């Protein structure tokens, strides 16, 4: 494993919670349902895929690109996890006919395909090439892209936290919001749930503000 297997680092993060120009929600919240949120997230993945195409001398939109997608999926641990994700999005599951790794929950082939993408991330992680934020970025995208495979309360937690993850926040602050989503599922719209949600969002926002200061150029 080499530094060429790092992923999701070609596109600078905003370190700010920005509104999506298409849906008006914090950008990333409606990934896979809103074109603006989808573009903001996927450009991180597509930057790595474009670099791979250039390195292999493959033109986008060609049959060679589809062939490369099959090769990347077959050799998942040798490629960045972002590239593996893009490859699976270009491939069709032979068992269920859906996007590979995104079919119904009882599709074994899709389940194994998701495992391949995780194996790629884990291989990079063993070399210290995956931050906690990047891991959350990876998992959150998959959850929001394939919501039908995940329980609604988990999806809601990721919807709330993903804009902060996309901006650069680390998962510990975001986990408080996910905990609140589980409480919501168990107890409904209770005062305690609202309080935990607000605290979690405030912690994530504070993290992003701190990152903004750290990344602001000095004069």
Question: Alpha-carbon distance 96 to 104, whole Å?
Answer: 8
Q: Whole-structure pTM over 0.75, yes or no? A: yes
What is the end-to-end Cα distance of the chain in Å, rounded? 38
Residues 132 and 155 reside in one and the same domain: no
Q: How confident is the model at residue 219 (pLDDT cuts 50, 70, 90)?
A: very low
pLDDT for res 125:
87
List all residues 6 or more positions away from 167 whose beta carbon is below 8 Å from its beta carbon: 13, 14, 15, 16, 17, 18, 208, 211
The structural domain count of the chain equals: 2
Residues 160 and 144 reside in one and the same domain: no
Confirm if 124 and 6 have CB atoms less than 8 A apart.
yes
Residues 140 and 159 reside in one and the same domain: no
Is 40 inside any structural domain? yes
Q: Tell me what the pLDDT averaged over the chain comes to.
A: 84
Question: Is residue 71 pLDDT above 80, yes or no?
Answer: yes
Is 218 inside any structural domain? no
H-state helical runs in the chain? 35-56, 63-74, 81-90, 108-125, 132-145, 152-167, 171-187, 191-215
Residue 59 domain boundaries: 21-150
pLDDT for res 136:
86
- Calculate what percentage of the chain has a pLDDT beyond 70: 77
Residue with structure tokens 């605290």?
Answer: 199
Residues 146 and 169 reside in one and the same domain: no
pLDDT for res 144:
95
Q: How confident is the model at residue 177 (pLDDT cuts 50, 70, 90)?
A: low
Residues 166 and 145 reside in one and the same domain: no
pLDDT for res 180:
52
């Amino acid at each position: 494993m080499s530094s060429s297997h790092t992923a999701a680092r070609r596109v600078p993060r905003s370190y700010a919670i920005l509104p999506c120009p298409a849906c008006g929600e914090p950008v990333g919240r409606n990934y896979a349902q809103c074109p603006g949120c989808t573009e903001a997230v996927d450009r991180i993945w597509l930057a790595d895929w474009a670099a791979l195409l250039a390195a292999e001398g493959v033109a986008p939109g060609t049959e060679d690109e589809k062939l490369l997608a099959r090769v990347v999926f077959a050799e998942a641990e040798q490629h960045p996890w972002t590239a593996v994700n893009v490859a699976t999005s270009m491939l069709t599951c032979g068992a269920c006919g859906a996007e590979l790794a995104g079919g119904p929950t009882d599709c074994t082939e899709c389940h194994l395909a998701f495992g391949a993408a995780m194996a790629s991330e884990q291989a990079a992680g063993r070399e210290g090439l995956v931050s906690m934020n990047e891991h959350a970025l990876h998992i959150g995208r998959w959850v929001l892209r394939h919501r039908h495979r995940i329980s609604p309360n988990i999806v809601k937690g990721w919807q709330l936290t993903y804009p902060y993850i996309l901006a650069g926040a680390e998962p510990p602050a975001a986990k408080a919001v996910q905990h609140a989503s589980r409480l919501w599922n168990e107890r409904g719209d209770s005062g305690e749930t609202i309080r935990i949600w607000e605290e979690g969002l405030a912690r994530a926002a504070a993290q992003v503000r701190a990152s903004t200061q750290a990344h602001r150029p000095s004069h």
